[in-house]
Structure 1
Amino acid sequence: MKTKAVRLYGKNDLRLEEFELPEIKDDEILVQVITDSLCMSSYKAAIQGEDHKRVPNDVATNPVIIGHEFAGNIIKVGSKWKDQFKEGEKFAIQPALNYKGSQASPGYSYPYFGGDATYTIIPHEVMELGCLLHYDGESYYDASLAEPMSCIIGAFHANYHTVPGKYEYNMGIKEGGKMALLAGTGPMGLGAIEYILNCDRKPSMLVVTDIDEKRIERAKAIFAESNQKGVELIFANTKEIEDVPAYLKELSGNTGYDDVYVYAPVEPLLEQADKILARDGCLNFFAGPTDTSFSAKFNFYNVHYSSTHIVGTSGGNTDDMIESLKMTESNLINPSVMVTHIGGLDCVAEATLKLPKIPGGKKLIYTNIDLELTAIEDFEEKGKTNPVFAKLDEIVKKNNGLWCAEAEKYLLSNLSK
């Protein structure tokens, strides 16, 4: 059968093409993709091409489908998996494969397996690793966003704290402690706030910084009506503050912070984070740099005498993904706080290559429609000449300006091919 997909041929070379998929094997599964969320990792793969560690060297002659944050419907199940998966079920994908030491991953490495496609073939290793996941939620976008949410969740599980006088570690953030998210009003930061307010281990204080007032105001609006559930949530614009560490420490009551997350690969941010750590404070460097020699100063006097430490994660594991899906299915978290744009398959190539320059948060793609990348905040203006956008604007305004299940259903019923 035919599929339409965005394929990578080399550096800055993405092409939307229609081509034939092979018949699935007994150990494979055919799926229809409904949603894919664009990720900065796809941008990095697109600009690096064959130099990227997950992209094959022969990509110029054997192109790969991009996109790895995707969800949809199971269409056909190979005989090996018929007792585990059923046609018509919704699915989500954990893309962080590690099959027999291979770096191969959907969105980077496979000619017929990726998220920016109408149909795609899931290879046997995905099922063998338990990375094809059942999803029973109402909407497809939630399942797509479970992947970035799982990265956020994994980072919170990766933090640790020591037990004085013992060689023991307590994994996770410090319950009842003080936490800071630096550069924390981007899409992943907003997802982190949503998780923090609803997970089973919460800090007593959460300080979120940024230097973009528009992003801060949007974050305040999103969480204005949220139940803070015992967490003191403070947003701080540090752009004009001369001594940021002193200001942030003062906000903490001069104790410093038990858990500090840095959401942008910026040297001064890391050095700020180091300076505001409390005793036994854990700094989590969440943002992945493209510069292989990226570095920053770290106070090793405090490492020795105050037990400060640093960790980093690159993606979540399958348990993190399952936690994200279960919380979404139970309406405990709302991943749509990350979404600021929607679009169709036809806008993916251009949007991916320009991703760092496009403001806002997550760009959510519906692969079975043609639609230019459109900001949710532009629905009202577009609605003046387009009744579909007028209705979408009405729907999201009822939902605190956020994308939602009702909006998805309306979009799919009115624009699907």
Structure 2
Amino acid sequence: MKTRAVRLYGKNDLRIEEFELPAIKDSEILAKIVTNSVCMSDHKAAEQGADHKRIPSNVAENPIMLGHEFCGEIVEVGKKWADSFKSGDRFSIQPALNYKGTLDAPGYSYQYIGGDATYIVIPNEVMELDCLLKYEGDAFFLGSLAEPVSCIVGTYHAMYHTTGGSYVHKMGIAEGGNVAILAGVGPMGLGAIDYGLHCDRKPGLMVVTDIDEARLSRAAELYPIEEAAKQGVTLVYLNTKDLDDPVVKLKELSGGHGYDDVFVMAPVRPLVEQADAILAKDGCLNFFAGPNRTDFSAMLNFYNVHYGSTHIVGTSGGNTDDMKESLQMMEKGLINPAAMITHIGGLDAVPETVIKLPSIPGGKKLMYTHIDLPLTAIVDFEEVGKKDPLFAKLAEIVARHGGLWNLEAEKYLLENAPKRETN
């Protein structure tokens, strides 16, 4: 079976290549990729090359397939797994294998499995570790978003609070408590709002901050305060840009109690210190955003740590249970992370997108690997459609769905976009 894939050879050395996959072993599975979403972690991997902790040192001689947020269909199953999987099954994957204590992961460490490809070989350890996850949903793009959504699910589950008089920690956000999501209207912040409003352990108050009024307004359209109220949550969007003292306003909104759970969605020192300042007694601060700088630091009020029992947790990715929860909630229509997606493209657009990702505005860039298509922002569909009938139709479909990428648009794209198959 031939595949066409984006392979990493070294720092920012990404090549689209066509080559023959090895025949699968009895313990392996052959699969077709349909979608892969680009992640900032892909950019870091490309930028660092062999210096990245997950990238093999011999990557120049044995290039790896890039991409770890993918969804597709199983093509052929080795006999070891014939009772568990079958041809035609849709799947997503948990890339954080933690296999034998290593950091090896699909999309970083393997020659024949990564999301930016047409076909892949799934190695035995993925199934052994229960990291090949069946997906019963209709939209492939939602399966691709299971991994980033699982990071949000894991963040909520990682929060913890103390139990007076004992040393037992209660895991999860404080049910019915106050939650603040700072810098919370980026793609992951939107996912955090969506999950917080629809999970089985909701806050009573959710305050979402940012300094961009347009992005705050868009978030309010996607997740209206009226809809949040139906879920039993008081939702407040707050632009802190022109506030003399955001901490004072945030405390006022909390009724003077402070916030039981605070999520910091951007690696900005003043934001971390703001989060620390608004914590309630026994409040938990989650530093969600991963910084590039290894020496990133911020001030912490240790008086409150000692007397107020405030504490910090950091999460980097979700586990397999978090991914399963993400998939199940999407399959049931409880959450819709389509708001994360701002661009679509084909396999040919991957290398440039990955390398230039920090300078490309918007949220998730979703790639359809059997199609060659320039990276195109959803908001530009109508303009591009003046010259390209494919995008004219996509613009119509997206407009019917509140400006969001959706199943109807995906089906139309897969049926009508020019295919680029392997020879």
Shorter chain as denominator, the TM-score bin is: over 0.9
SS across alignment from 1:6: strand
2:262 alignment partner, one of 260, 263, 272: 260
SS across alignment from 2:116: coil
What letter matches 2:336 in structure 1? N
Report the Cα offset of residue 212 of structure 1.
Answer: 1.8
Q: Is the 8 A contact 2:173 2:201 kept in 1?
A: yes
Report what 2:240 is aligned to: 238
Instruction: Name the CA shift for 1:388/1:226 in 2 (closer, same or farther; >3 Å).
Output: farther
Report the Cα offset of residue 111 of structure 1.
Answer: 0.7
Report what 1:24 is aligned to: 24
Report what 1:152 is aligned to: 152
In structure 1, how many angstroms separate the alpha carbons of the residues matched to 2:19 and 2:296?
Answer: 40
Structure 1 spans left out of the alignment, 5+ residues: none
In structure 2, how many angstroms separate the alpha carbons of the residues matched to 1:350 and 1:248?
Answer: 40
Structure 2 spans left out of the alignment, 5+ residues: none
Report the Cα offset of residue 210 of structure 1.
Answer: 1.0
Report what 2:40 is aligned to: 40
Report the Cα offset of residue 246 of structure 1.
Answer: 1.3
Report the Cα offset of residue 168 of structure 1.
Answer: 1.3
Q: Is the 8 A contact 2:225 2:234 kept in 1?
A: no
What letter matches 1:186 in structure 2? G
Q: TM-score, normalised by structure 2?
A: 0.97
Report what 1:375 is aligned to: 377
2:310 alignment partner, one of 308, 330, 341: 308
2:341 alignment partner, one of 339, 342, 363: 339
> Which range moved further: 300-309 or 386-395?
386-395
What letter matches 1:255 in structure 2? H
In structure 1, how many angstroms separate the alpha carbons of the residues matched to 2:274 and 2:33?
Answer: 42
SS across alignment from 1:100: helix
How is 1:196-207 mapped onto 2 (pairs within 5 angstroms)?
Answer: 196-207=196-207
Report what 2:286 is aligned to: 284
1:34-93 C-alpha deviation (Å, 9 max, x unpaired): 000111111111101111100000111111011000000100111111010000111110
SS across alignment from 1:156: helix
Report what 1:117 is aligned to: 117
What letter matches 1:213 in structure 2? E
Q: Is the 8 A contact 2:225 2:236 kept in 1?
A: no
In structure 2, how many angstroms separate the alpha carbons of the residues matched to 1:206 and 1:14?
Answer: 42
In structure 2, how many angstroms separate the alpha carbons of the residues matched to 1:232 and 1:398?
Answer: 28
SS across alignment from 1:227: helix
2:395 alignment partner, one of 378, 393, 396: 393
2:408 alignment partner, one of 381, 385, 406: 406
Report the Cα offset of residue 226 of structure 1.
Answer: 6.9
Instruction: Name the CA shift for 1:113/1:261 in 2 (closer, same or farther; >3 Å).
Output: same
1:71 is aligned to 2:68 = no
1:179-210 C-alpha deviation (Å, 9 max, x unpaired): 00011101100011111111001111111111
What letter matches 1:347 in structure 2? A
Report the Cα offset of residue 213 of structure 1.
Answer: 2.0
In structure 1, how many angstroms separate the alpha carbons of the residues matched to 2:105 and 2:77?
Answer: 21
Report what 1:9 is aligned to: 9
Q: Is the 8 A contact 2:225 2:235 kept in 1?
A: no
How is 1:215-254 mapped onto 2 (pairs within 5 angstroms)?
Answer: 215-224=215-224, 227-228=227-228, 229-254=231-256
SS across alignment from 2:222: helix
Q: What is the aligned-residue RMSD (CA, Å)?
A: 1.0
In structure 2, how many angstroms separate the alpha carbons of the residues matched to 1:372 and 1:9?
Answer: 23
Q: Percent identity?
A: 66
Report the Cα offset of residue 166 of structure 1.
Answer: 1.5
Report the Cα offset of residue 225 of structure 1.
Answer: 8.0
SS across alignment from 1:253: coil
SS across alignment from 2:227: coil
Report the Cα offset of residue 416 of structure 1.
Answer: 4.8
What letter matches 1:283 in structure 2? L
In structure 1, how many angstroms separate the alpha carbons of the residues matched to 2:238 and 2:30?
Answer: 47
In structure 1, how many angstroms separate the alpha carbons of the residues matched to 2:418 and 2:120?
Answer: 18
What letter matches 2:126 in structure 1? V
Report what 1:131 is aligned to: 131
In structure 1, how many angstroms separate the alpha carbons of the residues matched to 2:185 and 2:91?
Answer: 29
In structure 2, how many angstroms separate the alpha carbons of the residues matched to 1:337 and 1:128?
Answer: 33
What letter matches 1:190 in structure 2? L
Report the Cα offset of residue 356 of structure 1.
Answer: 1.0
What letter matches 2:75 in structure 1? I
What letter matches 1:170 in structure 2? K
Give the paired residue count. 417
Report what 1:107 is aligned to: 107
SS across alignment from 2:99: coil
SS across alignment from 1:359: coil
Report the Cα offset of residue 237 of structure 1.
Answer: 1.3
1:317 alignment partner, one of 308, 316, 319: 319
1:260-309 C-alpha deviation (Å, 9 max, x unpaired): 00011111110000000001000000011121111111001000000000
Report what 1:169 is aligned to: 169
SS across alignment from 1:391: helix
Report what 1:271 is aligned to: 273
SS across alignment from 1:354: helix
SS across alignment from 1:215: helix
In structure 1, how many angstroms separate the alpha carbons of the residues matched to 2:179 and 2:170?
Answer: 16
What letter matches 1:135 in structure 2? Y
SS across alignment from 2:237: strand
1:99-137 C-alpha deviation (Å, 9 max, x unpaired): 111110011100111000001110000000000011110
In structure 2, how many angstroms separate the alpha carbons of the residues matched to 1:394 and 1:46?
Answer: 36
How is 1:186-205 mapped onto 2 (pairs within 5 angstroms)?
Answer: 186-205=186-205
SS across alignment from 1:360: coil
Report the Cα offset of residue 227 of structure 1.
Answer: 2.3
